[in-house]
């Protein structure tokens, strides 16, 4: 079983619509969580950090459910520029310092 699992998509979203997708993780002792965004043929860039129950940044909302071991990302009022692959990243327990665990990514395609 992978440590971090994501639906690869693609999620095809009309411009202006809302899209949400989840990421599940296997280690219940994981410390913190992140969403990175990766454009086609580009490097990943940090989108949001999630340390407690959730975080909101403009049109983006991340939620953490520790009981069910998943985090979600919701994008409201989708823009064409939101088309990208969203990587879920989990920081494991402290004895694995430095070894972030990456999901394979969820592809989002926003269409006009």
Nearer to other proteins by C-beta: 44 or 78? 44
Q: Which of 60, 74, 104, 109 binds other proteins (CB under 8 A)?
A: 104
Q: Classify 102 as helix, strand or coil.
A: strand
The residue count for the chain: 112
Please tell me the distance from the alpha carbon of residue 108 to that of residue 38, in angstroms, as a whole number. Answer: 11
Q: Using CA atoms in the order 71, 60, 77, 11, what is the torsion angle rounded to 10 degrees?
A: -40
The separation between CA 73 and the C-alpha centre of its own chain, rounded to angstroms, equals: 5
2-61 binders of other proteins (CB under 8 A): 4, 8, 32, 34, 36, 42-46, 49
Query: Does residue 98 touch other proteins according to CB under 8 A?
Result: yes
Q: Minimum Å distance from CB 112 to other proteins?
A: 27
- Residues found near other proteins in the complex (CB under 8 A): 4, 8, 32, 34, 36, 42-46, 49, 87, 91, 97-100, 102-105
């Amino acid at each position: 079983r992978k440590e971090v699992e994501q639906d690869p998509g693609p999620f095809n979203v009309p411009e202006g619509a809302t899209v949400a997708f989840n990421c599940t993780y296997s280690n219940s002792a994981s410390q913190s969580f992140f969403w990175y965004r990766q454009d086609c043929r580009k490097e990943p860039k940090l989108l949001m950090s999630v340390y407690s129950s959730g975080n909101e940044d403009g049109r983006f909302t991340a939620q953490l459910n520790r009981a069910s071991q998943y985090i979600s990302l919701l994008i409201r009022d989708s823009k064409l520029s939101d088309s990208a692959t969203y990587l879920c990243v989990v920081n494991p327990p402290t004895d694995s310092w430095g070894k972030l665990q990456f999901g394979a990514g969820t592809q989002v395609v926003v269409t006009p």
